[in-house]
Amino acid sequence: MIGTTLALLISGGVLIIFLVAAMVGGLVDAFGEVEGGSSFDADIESGSVLHLTFDDGIVERGLGQSFTVNFNDFSPEKTMGLNDLLADLERAAADENILGILLEVNGVGGYPSTLGEVRKGLLKFKESGKWIVSWSETQSQKAYWLSSMADEMLLHPEGMADILGLNLETTYLTGLLEKLGVEMQVLRGPNNLYKSAVEPYTRKSMSEPNRQQLQALLEDFWSEMRSDIASSRDLKTERLDEIANGMLLRSAQAGIDLGLYDALMYEDELVALLEEKGVSIDSDDELELVSFSRYHNPNAMGDMLAMAMIALEDADDTDKTKDDKESETDDLAEAVDATHIAVVYAVGGIQSGEGDDQTIGSARIARALRDARLDPEVGAVVLRVNSPGGSALASDVIWRETVKLREAGKPVVASMSDLAASGGYYISCAADKILCQPNTITGSIGVFGMIPNMNGLLEGHLGLRYDNVKLHDHADMFSSHSNLDAEERIVMNGVISDIYNDFISRVAEGRGMTINEVDEVARGRVWTGQDALEIGLVDGFGGLQDAVKAAAELASMSNYELVELPEVQDPFEAFMEDLIGVQHATVLQELVGLTDADLAPLQQVQEILHGDRYQSRLLLNFNVN
């Protein structure tokens, strides 16, 4: 009671602080516009440089505000949406006040697909004739790849960089489960040899089929990274293999000798270089460097106040009568010309229900697709997928809405991001056109079921015993306190086989292939975008912007606006929902000494066990350096 009361008091106090801050920011902006300027001035000065660091990582979709809340210390936490970044790079290329870009990328998280899309956005910026300079104190391998297209590659004289090639690690939980006394009863679809999502719970090392497919992933990842770096730095691709295998990048000077960098510079020398390029100096004798968050939303505080006002107005809307709402719906149903392309974001694991901005809830995403189908102003849909899959049932619910869109005459283009595998491919396969990145992870067309037997843990370690009475032979089939018998395994395998056959039938129908052709490339195997194009699972390469253009062409739309669905969760609502309890998780994590990477496989176990019974999911607990 005391903890809950304190949490409520703290949450109320923090919320008031943010509301007051938003109000003050809005007032400062208002007075600034009248008096000619303020620290919150939205104007970008002439001679400015866009300063990109990617320290906060890149998410699939910006949430409509410049920052969220870090619950560890209640400080503002910046966010960067890929959709916002690509749009802002295009805007900056035409912005007369932006001279160029300074990349200061030490390390960057994310899958190769997202980073490749960012890199292409930067290359497109260079086509405007503006320059890009990269300077870092240290650089990871992925950060170097992302930055290598810069006009000038600069490193701190005592800095370090890594080019050691690619490594992929997978966490296996079988030993932990054995110590706990938990037995995982796993069933897979027919011939799903490559469906490796279940291996961490049944094995202590990789199976050969899994090793084969993961090796192929790494080879395709490295092929693109190596080719990009070699092209940008005028090196031979073989030379990069020599650098990695020989660990030749051992110092900053070695980077110069190997042709990986152009010069070594201290920060003051970098400032002098940018001044020579015409970068302006502000009133504090500092360079006019514009961060992404400021360039994307220079009036963040004012916008926070605006969102609060909108929330209050929405609350007033609840007083409308039923007749008022019905009349509004009738107005929207009137025939109008289609002027919008809807981008529907499907991000995260797939599950039944509503989900949220990080989870694909079948009800929420299906509703967004249905809204796009029924909205006469929407002429085409881009389904942006970044998902390892999840519930087979929830995937089918979403798939059905994509089919209904096509039947309504509205083209659907699936745009695959980092992951569109298993259920992620399921919801994409009915699209008129599928685009991906060369290093997108896709395929994994397969199904599995997993039921834990907790007796060893509950009785052996906790001293808990269970007894039961039943009227029918298999009434306790899905109890977590008993093993599946032979007859029950036959029944479950039959169900999984039916779901798998439905899956490959959906793919065959959507891709114009025979069921046998699909089965040959399915069986749970993952593919990179490069391989998926060769075997017919996708239609071509391209990012989100390319998918929008493809949708416009299919719908014969020359002038259009984008509308993003589903609506993002209200930040204040999310704040209040997450506040209570998050501190407990943080303290526990710190006490045990676990990192976020350590917790990821445990979180995946929770998702699988608490999800629907039959899953079409890709193994997520691996990391590519």
Write down the domain spans for the chain: 12-168+205-302, 338-569+604-616
User: How far is 146 from 229, CA to CA, in rounded Å?
Assistant: 9
Backbone torsion region of residue 222, taken as left when φ is above 0, otherwise alpha when ψ lies between -120 and 50, otherwise beta: alpha
508-525 mean pLDDT: 95
Selection from 110, 180, 108, 111 nearest residue 147 by Cα: 108
What's the confidence (pLDDT) of residue 83? Answer: 92
Backbone torsion region of residue 289, taken as left when φ is above 0, otherwise alpha when ψ lies between -120 and 50, otherwise beta: beta
- Cβ neighbours for 453, distance < 8 A, ≥ 6 positions apart: 182, 183, 184, 185, 480, 481, 482, 483
User: How far is 283 from 104, CA to CA, in rounded Å?
Assistant: 23
378-393 mean pLDDT: 95
User: How far is 194 from 524, CA to CA, in rounded Å?
Assistant: 5
Please indicate whether residue 456 or residue 313 has the higher confidence score (pLDDT): 456
Classified as helix, coil or strand, 524 is coil
pLDDT tens for each residue of 114-164: 999 999 999 999 999 999 999 999 999 999 999 999 999 999 999 999 999
Pairing outcome for strands 263-264 and 152-161 = parallel
Please indicate whether residue 468 or residue 342 has the higher confidence score (pLDDT): 342
Any idea what the Cα angle at residue 449 is, between residues 445 and 450, rounded to 5°? 135
Give me 2's structure tokens. 């005391």
Secondary structure string (H, E, C) spanning 371-384: HHHHCCCEEEEEEE
| 54 CB burial (10 A radius; 0-12, 13-18, 19+) | buried
User: How far is 161 from 240, CA to CA, in rounded Å?
Assistant: 14
- Cβ neighbours for 280, distance < 8 A, ≥ 6 positions apart: 45, 46, 47, 48, 287, 288
Beta bridge partners of 420: 387, 442
What's the confidence (pLDDT) of residue 331? Answer: 41
User: How far is 59 from 80, CA to CA, in rounded Å?
Assistant: 6
Among 201-210, 402-411, 447-456, whose mean pLDDT is lowest? 447-456
22-30 mean pLDDT: 44
Other Cβ atoms less than 10 A from the Cβ of 99: the count is 21
Question: Can you list the alpha helix ranges (DSSP code H) found in 408-539?
Answer: 423-426, 455, 486-511, 515-521, 529-534
Indicate if the pLDDT at residue 42 is higher than 70. no
Indicate if the pLDDT at residue 274 is higher than 50. yes
User: How far is 191 from 445, CA to CA, in rounded Å?
Assistant: 11
User: How far is 131 from 49, CA to CA, in rounded Å?
Assistant: 10
206 phi and psi angles, rounded to 5 deg: -70, 140
Indicate if the pLDDT at residue 554 is higher than 90. yes
Indicate if the pLDDT at residue 373 is higher than 60. yes
Across all residues in the chain, what is the average pLDDT? 82
pLDDT tens for each residue of 408-438: 999 999 999 999 999 999 999 999 999 999 9
Q: Which fold has domain 338-569+604-616?
A: 2-enoyl-CoA Hydratase; Chain A, domain 1 (3.90.226)
What's the confidence (pLDDT) of residue 300? Answer: 55
> Hey, do 12-168+205-302 and 338-569+604-616 end up sharing a CATH topology, with the first three levels equal?
yes
- In order, the DSSP letters of 83-96 are HHHHHHHHHHHH-T
Residues catalogued as catalytic: 195, 422
User: How far is 542 from 316, CA to CA, in rounded Å?
Assistant: 43
User: How far is 497 from 522, CA to CA, in rounded Å?
Assistant: 13
pLDDT band at 7 (very low <50, low <70, confident <90, very high): low
Provide, rounded to the nearest whole percent, the portion of the chain with pLDDT above 70.
76
Question: Can you list the alpha helix ranges (DSSP code H) found in 251-380?
Answer: 252-257, 267-276, 292-296, 300-317, 322-333, 362-374
| pTM of the complete model | 0.81
99-124 mean pLDDT: 94
Q: Which fold has domain 12-168+205-302?
A: 2-enoyl-CoA Hydratase; Chain A, domain 1 (3.90.226)
Long-range contacts made by residues 511-517, C-beta under 8 angstroms, separation at least 24? Answer: 511/429, 511/536, 511/537
Provide, rounded to the nearest whole percent, the portion of the chain with pLDDT above 90.
55
What's the confidence (pLDDT) of residue 583? Answer: 45
User: How far is 101 from 403, CA to CA, in rounded Å?
Assistant: 43
Among 38-42, 106-110, 303-307, 404-408, whose mean pLDDT is lowest? 38-42
| 422 CB burial (10 A radius; 0-12, 13-18, 19+) | buried
Give me 460's structure tokens. 């052996």
